Amino acid sequence: MQRVAIVGCGFVADLYMRSFAAHPDIEVVSCYDHDAARLAAFSAHWRVTPGADLASVLRAVAGTGLLLNLTNPRAHYEVNTAALEAGCHVFCEKPLALSLDQAERLRALARARGLQLGSAPSSVLGEAAQTLAKALRSPDYGTARLVYAELDDGFIPQAPLEEWTSESGAPWPYVDEFRTGCTLEHAGYYLSWLIAMFGAVTRINAVSAEVLPDKRGVTAAAPDFSVAVLAFEDGPLVRLTCSIAAPHDHRLQVVTDAGVLRLKRAWDNATPVTFYKRIRVRRRLMESPLGKRVRLATAKTHPKLPRKGAAAMNFALGPVEMLAAIGAGRDSRIGGDFALHLTEVTLAIQNAGLEGGAYRPKSRCEKMEPMPWAV
Ligand SMILES: NC(=O)c1ccc[n+]([C@@H]2O[C@H](COP(=O)([O-])OP(=O)(O)OC[C@H]3O[C@@H](n4cnc5c(N)ncnc54)[C@H](O)[C@@H]3O)[C@@H](O)[C@H]2O)c1
């Protein structure tokens, strides 16, 4: 059995527990939340032993296990630091930290202690991301020339947010979401895929702004819209958009010399990747309306989860990959330089402001090794 412990027993922790149910070789040995009522509700619902304090939960997995930091973003740095100092390998929900300086310190601490530090999202290890990456490694679909990646969530402040609760009863934390901002919360869902496929980002031209001035009366809200044009070490230009204002649209479209590779759902590991070949019809040029689904050579990838609420994602994929890496003594795909670079690029987009301007990341990472089943 592989040992995992959870700090932060809120909304997303339930999605992790549901995902771990599809991985019987993983045991959640302990959990902790500084909100005693939340800890009691979560541990009773999932029958996980509640820890008396943070230190005891860290002790439960120090060494060979994995600590999952599922706290709110403003607590990530503090909890990650405590966990690394206690000798734990750490998987942290996004973002790793709220500043580059903090993220660099965490990376240095992990390296100095010989520990792994990885960051969500895990969807880059999922079937849809791996299928798209494989298509782009193959000559069959043409060279990628331009990518449009949309992470527009709809007009979220007008949604019935009070009715969004998790399985064990945690409310969706909209105050925290509005203060953290949709770019820090969501850009990683496609940025991780793009960095995995095209390597490090070399230049960012971004704008971010608050376009909805009143979000349920929440003060000190972060930008609720951003758009970035990104250049990569080995890939095409990408336009990445995040908002909680524009109509829901999570399409990713890769324009190649031969047509368009397209998928529609960022938060569904099994969403089909479809290729629309470019064709000439009399004097017109168009993408064929009849797409052809891109398939891997195997159907054996990872456990899929049914759609629950907004997402059909297996949140355990990242922790499972990290535990495999720890066991094999190799660096995790989603840890180290990859996690630091993803954090730096996300922060640069979020912090761009209305004046924008070019930003060149300090950090870099290699493209991601494909999962063995997607080679
Ligand atoms: N809500 C979602 O749909 C969703 C989806 C994917 C990822 N995430 C990410 O998951 C993380 C958590 O989000 P959430 O929605 O579960 O938030 P949440 O507010 O529902 O839960 C966070 C929990 O962490 C606890 N906590 C905060 N600081 C702590 C500390 N120092 N020590 C112990 N416990 C502490 C809080 O009491 C709370 O119960 C965020 O990074 C978010 O970006 C959220």
pLDDT, one tens digit per residue, over 192-228 is 999 999 999 999 999 999 999 999 999 999 999 999 9
Same domain, 96 and 220: no
**Token digits of residue 228:** 């970035």
User: Does 52 map to a domain?
Assistant: yes
Query: What CATH number did the domain enclosing 369 receive?
Result: 3.30.360.10
* Residue 180 and residue 229 in one domain: yes
Task: Answer whether residue 321 is part of any domain.
Answer: no
Residue 221 Cα to ligand 1 middle (Å): 17
* 5 three-state secondary structure: strand
For residue 167, tell me if it sits in a domain: yes
Q: How many CA atoms lie within 13 A of 51 on its CB side?
A: 23
Task: Output the average pLDDT for the chain.
Answer: 97
Q: Which of 44, 24, 33 is nearest to 5 (CA)?
A: 33
CA 183 to chain centre: 11
| Cβ of 315 below 6 Å from ligand 1 | no
What is the crossing angle of helices 73-85 and 54-61, to 10°? 60
The model's pLDDT over 308-354, given as tens digits with 9 standing for 90+, comes to 777 899 999 999 999 999 999 999 999 999 999 999 999 999 999 99
Residue found by looking up tokens 């980002």 in the block: 201
Sign of CA dihedral 160, 10, 121, 220: positive
Pocket test for ligand 1, best of 7, 11, 162 (most atoms within 8 A of CB): 11
State residue 91 phi and psi, 5-degree precision: -115, 125
Last-in-domain residue among 94, 119, 144? 119
Of 63, 95, 119, the domain-final residue: 119
Same domain, 141 and 264: yes
Classify burial at 112, counting beta carbons within 10 Å of its beta carbon; exposed 0-12, middle 13-18, buried 19 or more: exposed
Structure-token pair, residue 265? 């759902």
Residue 306: the pLDDT is: 86
**Domain co-membership, 178 together with 295:** yes
* Boundary-marking domain end, from 98, 119, 140: 119
The span from the CA of 129 to the CA of 217, in Å, is 37
At which residue do the structure tokens 């998987």 appear?
Answer: 91
Q: Within this chain, do residues 114 and 161 fall inside the same structural domain, yes or no?
A: no
The model's pTM: 0.98
Q: Which atom of ligand 1 is nearest to the CA of 79?
A: 31
User: Which tens digit of pLDDT belongs to each residue from 97-115?
Assistant: 999 999 999 999 999 999 9
* Spatial distance between the Cα atoms of 34 and 13, rounded to a whole number of angstroms: 14
CB of 288 closer than 8 Å to CB of 259:
yes
The verdict on the CB of residue 73 being under 6 Å from ligand 1 is yes
Chain center to CA of 61: 23
Residue 224 · residue 242 · CB < 8 Å: no
Buried (b) or exposed (e) across 222-232, using 16+ Cβ within 10 A? Answer: bbbbbbbebbb
Domain contains 319: no
Protein residue with its CA nearest to atom 37 in ligand 1: 35
Range of the domain at 92: 2-119
From ligand 1's centre to the CA of 10, what distance in Å? 5
Q: Is the CB of 16 under 6 A from ligand 1?
A: no
The minimum-distance atom of ligand 1 relative to the CA of 93 is 41
Number of domains observed in the structure of the chain: 2
pLDDT of residue 307: 82
Q: Are residues 101 and 210 in the same domain?
A: no
Tokens of 63: 């060494």
Q: Which atom of ligand 1 is nearest to the CA of 95?
A: 41
For 70, the token pair is 């599922």
The predicted-structure confidence for 153-203, as pLDDT tens digits, reads as follows 999 999 999 999 999 999 999 999 999 999 999 999 999 999 999 999 999
* Residue with CA at minimum distance from ligand 1 atom 39: 10
